Amino acid sequence: MVILSWKDTAKDNSLKDGTLNAGVIEINGNFIQKNEVRDYYGNGNFSPKGSHKVILSGTKNQLVTFENINSNRFNILEIKNNSGQIIIPNLKTNELSSSKDAKLKVTNLYSMKLTSDININSTVYIKISIMIVSNLNNHKLEIMGNVIHSGGTIYVNKGKL
């Protein structure tokens, strides 16, 4: 399943954890997760699994916001927007890939595995718990600002930070 959105996309209804476990959502506008609804197990309303992917492919600035980052996240996030800046105050994803010229502005970076080199053009607060780690996976995470690491372990795994 592929869903293309050429405008802003707001995700505010409840999908149980794992409901989105395959397919692609391609977004040309902003992505906004709001109206936090948790299921019996405390899972959020946007926490896909499996091979589900979100692609940000706009041609101008794109904003990504999660009302509650603790129980919501991307599974696989791919950045294809090379024209505008991708502004993500809280980035939580299982895997992240980006085109070479993408411009990311991230404030809080949570655990993830890189599947391409990533450049972030802002100060980054890396928030990693002891049990969950960022895996650079033989790729380069370049941060063009200060890095504030508040705990946990970063596994460089033959990558560069």
12-36 tens-digit pLDDT: 555 555 578 888 999 999 998 876 5
Is residue 68 in a domain?
yes
8 A C-beta contact, residue 154 and residue 127:
no
In a domain, 48, yes or no: yes
Q: What is the mean pLDDT of residues 102-113?
A: 82
Res 134: pLDDT? 65
Neighbours of 137 (CB within 10 A): 17
Tell me how far apart the alpha carbons of residues 16 and 148 are, in angstroms, rounded to a whole number. 33
Residue appearing with tokens 């993500």: 88
Confidence band for 156, pLDDT divided at 50, 70 and 90: confident
Confirm whether 161 is domain-assigned.
no
DSSP code of 40?
Answer: T
Query: Looking at the predicted structure, is the pLDDT value of residue 8 above 70?
Result: no
* pLDDT for position 106: 85
Tokens of 69: 């980052």
**Is 160 a domain residue?**
no
Residue 21 lies in a domain: yes
> pLDDT at residue 37 above 90?
no
pTM confidence score: 0.81
Residue 104 inside a domain? The answer is: yes
Share of the chain above pLDDT 90, in %: 20
Q: What is the pLDDT of residue 128?
A: 59
Residue 14 included in any domain? yes
The answer to whether position 151 is within a domain reads yes
**Which pairs count as long-range contacts for 86-95, CB under 8 Å and 24+ apart, including other chains?**
86/56, 86/61, 86/62, 87/61, 87/62, 87/63, 88/63, 88/64, 89/64, 89/65, 90/65, 90/66, 91/64, 92/66
Question: Based on the number of CB atoms within 10 Å of its own CB, is 118 exposed (0-12), middle (13-18) or buried (19 or more)?
Answer: buried
**What mean pLDDT is reported for the chain?**
78
Structural domains counted in the chain: 1
The DSSP call for residue 107 is E
For residue 140, the enclosing domain spans: 2-155
Task: Give residue 132's pLDDT.
Answer: 42
Give the highest mean pLDDT range of 23-37, 51-65, 82-96, 131-145: 51-65
